Amino acid sequence: MEEARFADQVAIVTGGADGIGKAITRRLAEEGVRVTIFDVSVANAEATAGELAEAGLRVGVEIVDIADENAVHSGIESVTGQHGKLDIMINCAAIVGPTSTKITEVTTEEFDLETAINLRGTFLMTKFALLAMEKNDYGRILNFASIAGKEGNAGMSPYSATKAGVIGLVKSAGKEYAETGITVNAVAPAVIRTPMVEGVDPAQVKYMTDKIPMKRCGTLDEIAALSCWAVSPEASFCTGFTFDLTGGRAVY
């Protein structure tokens, strides 16, 4: 039954070479989706594609900087040119930026870089995915926000601001396409145990984990399960919404 829900579907997963994106890519591929990874790292993308190939899973690779409009446009055109359509776009690519850093110590350059990737990148991936999906009047878009976008994390003002922007963008785009066969949603995780989190100041991770009633990080399997449901035909009455994956921290 799981394979049937994604029969003959085509997906793009940004940041698909590592962490959350990699876990989602694997699960979609296991369920029969033809997935193309968008990533900026040639080495990571090829390594992930090779690892999945050894498991009998074929995934494509496009080297795309999601902050670059031309790269996003041509990357999506490459996928639709090869497969004839785009059914699913999951945008996981992001950077954490400064942590344990007061806003007065954040440089404008740091803020601008985070905005370019986390917010402009989300805008560009959503815009061009929608243009591709309009042709078949079907699609599922899932952007990654964060609990930081709902509540704000002290010491992470650029990240919190950009993820709040993702939530607002999803609300707006979801409403714009509500009368079509295309949905636009987001996921707002708390701390998920990924390589990206491993590189964050342990004090910052403790600050975030202490706020979670379950008192633990989320797992990659948990986030892949929710994400794959949200981009399936089963999630047909959900749009403009940000799904909680926070172990009880967010209750709205």
End-to-end Cα, the chain, rounded Å:
31
Exposed, middle or buried: residue 94 (CB in 10 Å: 0-12, 13-18, 19+)?
buried
User: Which candidate, 105, 132, 110, places its Cα nearest to that of 36?
Assistant: 132
User: Which candidate, 225, 193, 240, places its Cα nearest to that of 212?
Assistant: 193
CA distance 189 to 204: 16
The backbone torsions φ and ψ at residue 4, rounded to the nearest 5 degrees and listed phi first, read -65, -30
Question: Which of the residues 159, 177, 207, 252 is marked catalytic?
Answer: 159
Q: Let me know if 159 is a catalytic residue.
A: yes
Q: Which residues are catalytic?
A: 159
